[in-house]
Structure 1
Amino acid sequence: MRTSRIAALAGLAGIAATATMSFTALGKGTAASAAEGNGRPASYLLEGDPSAQGGSKFEGIGVDKETGAFYVSEVTGGEIQRGTADRTQAEEWLGGDGTDGRYTARGITVDDEGRIYIAGGPNGTGNDRPDLWVYSPEGELLAALRVPDNTAFLNDVAIGPDGAAYFTNSNDPTIIRVAEGAKTTGARSSGELARPLVPSEGVTARSADGWQATEWADGSSLITPREGFNLGGIVLSQDRSAFVVAQGTTGQLWRFSIATGEVSEIDTDGADLRNADGLVRQGRDLAVIRNFDKQLVHLELNPSATSAENVSSRATDPDRVLTTGKLLGGRMLMVDSHFDEQTAQGPYEIVTARMPR
């Protein structure tokens, strides 16, 4: 299966960019070179949607480390773009504007089988549209599900030790578990199955094929939602015993135990993490992307993620609002969202940087 996926991605068409901007030390450099080293581009261009109201604005990114593919979500329309580590230009992979019931998209991740999980943000809030989707590497829709909470805002997603996908909810301090089959871990689960989609959405619910969405953890005993985006970025701890989750409205990090689903606050050594969005972890190093504050914070977590040392904070490019990031080939790939623009103007880019150490 993995061999066929690599072969399929090798045929992904790429359009040579006439110009690009290099990204060095988290700032814009000159356009003198499109390559960073080993023939890899220093930044990646995304296709804008000329029909999108307010221009194209991007947010989530997922990577397939085996094939070198990455996937990027468009908030304005819900399109999904795909690129590869060795090509400057990414291209639309999945349509939006109602395709599979998707009008917006947020966080993305990829599991060991190459399946792509997409968080819908407010796509299903107050209506009967899907809250999330799962696709095969070939673009086949495997699941389009609603979650038990009709007011959920699914923000980001990570794969757990059990192979299931875990989605953060920005409206309530809950985490949603999505998996194929009815198997559960030792963590607390609501036991409530995903509600099937209504036929009018033009999407066939795939829960009959075994995909389910359940409320895995509820952190309301400690986490108080504030106005704005609450739970967002999510990564596993180094020892895989817990999820680390950012609450952007308060600048706190929360630890959700894999074994029990219980929540506790992570001591972050006084770090300012307001507007924390994407989290990127490598070993004990955790990079926290503070979107509108335009800062990248480096924390050093202990292996079980109960505490962290505040190592450093540095400014990112003042002309970009970076949101989420993922590691690919030793580099961080981060999304330039254009969230600070009333009407987004290109170029639309994924920028690269070294993981802070």
Structure 2
Amino acid sequence: MTRSFARRRVLRTAAALGGAALLGPLAGPARAAEHAGRPWPETFPLPNGFRPEGITIGAGPYAYIGSIATGSVYRADLATGRGRVVSQGLGAAHPVIGLKIDRRERLLFLCGGVSREIRIADARRGTLLRTFGVGSEGTMVNDVVLTPGAAYFTDSFKPNLYRLPLGPRDEPGEAITTVPLGGDWVQGAALTANGISRTPDGRALLMVNQAVGGGSLMRVDTRTGVARRMDLGGTPLPNADGLLLLGRLLHVVQNRLNTIAVLKLNESGTSGRVIARITDPDFKVPTTAAVWRDRIYLPNARFDVAQPTPDTTYDVVAVDRVGR
């Protein structure tokens, strides 16, 4: 049975709801993170007009959020909610969509969206270290996952995967390889590929495909680019965006549905079932997710705002993990 969870901040509880629809609350205890005896904030603001999309969290309790509007990266202290821009962007023509920080928290791998750029920045100083151009006209570099040997980047408008080799200290190589996607992959007329993750066994990648079956997941062979549709028991995943894998639980952010679908996968990532759904009254079209201990953090992209302005407000929301 699929469970749904809606956090109610006033009661500081997690409400467990029976069935796939939100039928009725059953209160349960929430796990509040503590800092010097005070709960960590459940939401915290980003700069007005920031237009966030991607988020990454390293070994320390700090989140890095990328800006569509300016290409800047904002670093927030999860214990206090306070932060600042640590990497100044190059403007609207050079956005940051997805991003990841390396294991040593030295490098930020930035997806440049329609600029067709993959950028590497110093996580501490914010300085831009490397820029790679990929794809062709119409390319949109959307999201990234880091593996022990390479960083892989999705292209929302082209059936390609981009591979950047990484050294033993996650230092980037000199050239990016384009891996064409085949097999069950179908490229739609609109945005197709989105979030990306490793399989639980680490032998392949999982990618969102928004064009197949009303929203699906593909298991991709990184060597050949052959994609096979994951068996989800007939459950579609519309509006699927960012992916977050925790053990064998894959969290799929469904942005305009204001929901995280939690899937239990087999080790190889060939099949999975939705076992829970997480929602929150503070969700305003969240796009991606990152974890710190018992909490998952999501930036509200507010894609429902037709014409964002420099005064449009944005924030990050924390929700409790379900299951371990």
Q: Do these two structures clear the TM 0.5 threshold for a shared fold by scoring above it?
A: yes
CA distance in 2, matches of 1:239, 1:89: 36
Per-residue displacement from partner, 1:13-39 (whole Å, max 9, x unpaired)?
xxxxxxxxxxxx55574599xx94312
Is the CA contact 2:282–2:317 (under 8 Å) kept in the aligned structure 1?
Answer: no
Equivalent residue, structure 2, for 1:149 = 136
1:121 counterpart letter in structure 2: G
CA distance in 1, matches of 2:78, 2:7: 20
CA distance in 2, matches of 1:249, 1:267: 16
Is the CA contact 1:143–1:211 (under 8 Å) kept in the aligned structure 2?
Answer: no
Match of 1:108 among 96, 99, 107: 99
Is 2:214 the counterpart of 1:228?
A: no
Equivalent residue, structure 2, for 1:349 = 315
Match of 2:209 among 247, 258, 264: 247
Equivalent residue, structure 1, for 2:111 = 119
Q: Unmatched 5+ residue regions in structure 1? A: 1-24, 49-54, 125-130, 184-208
Aligned pairs for 1:1-357 (under 5 A) are 26=6, 29-30=9-10, 36-39=32-35, 40-48=40-48, 55-65=49-59, 67-98=60-91, 103-114=94-105, 115-124=107-116, 131-138=117-124, 139-162=126-149, 164-179=150-165, 210-215=173-178, 217-250=179-212, 251-258=215-222, 260-317=224-281, 320-344=284-308, 346-357=312-323
Change (3 A) 1:290 1:259: same
2:199 counterpart letter in structure 1: S
CA distance in 2, matches of 1:218, 1:283: 28
CA distance in 2, matches of 1:319, 1:280: 17
CA distance in 2, matches of 1:140, 1:252: 37
Aligned residues: 289
1:37 counterpart letter in structure 2: A
4+ residue runs over 6 A deviation: none
Q: Secondary structure at the match of 1:211?
A: coil
Q: Secondary structure at the match of 2:277?
A: strand
2:184 counterpart letter in structure 1: L
Q: Secondary structure at the match of 1:356?
A: coil
CA distance in 1, matches of 2:190, 2:223: 30
| TM-score normalised to structure 2 length | 0.81
CA distance in 1, matches of 2:84, 2:232: 39
CA distance in 1, matches of 2:64, 2:99: 7
Counting helix residues as a fraction of each chain, which structure ranks higher? 1
Is the CA contact 1:47–1:92 (under 8 Å) kept in the aligned structure 2?
Answer: no
Change (3 A) 1:87 1:243: same
CA distance in 2, matches of 1:112, 1:121: 24
Is the CA contact 2:164–2:175 (under 8 Å) kept in the aligned structure 1?
Answer: yes
CA distance in 1, matches of 2:272, 2:11: 38
Per-residue displacement from partner, 1:270-326 (whole Å, max 9, x unpaired)?
222011001111111111111112222121100110111222335443761010001
| TM-score normalised to structure 1 length | 0.74
Q: Secondary structure at the match of 1:292?
A: helix
CA distance in 2, matches of 1:31, 1:88: 21
CA distance in 1, matches of 2:123, 2:241: 26
Q: Secondary structure at the match of 1:323?
A: coil
- Measured after TM superposition, the shift of residue 148 of structure 1 is 4.1
CA distance in 1, matches of 2:277, 2:135: 38
Q: Unmatched 5+ residue regions in structure 2? A: 13-30
Q: Secondary structure at the match of 1:212?
A: coil
Counting strand residues as a fraction of each chain, which structure ranks higher? 2
Percent identity reads 24
1:350 counterpart letter in structure 2: V
Higher mean displacement: 37-46 or 262-271: 37-46
CA distance in 1, matches of 2:288, 2:260: 11
What is the RMSD of the two structures over their aligned residues, measured on CA atoms?
2.7
- Measured after TM superposition, the shift of residue 341 of structure 1 is 0.9
- Measured after TM superposition, the shift of residue 268 of structure 1 is 1.0
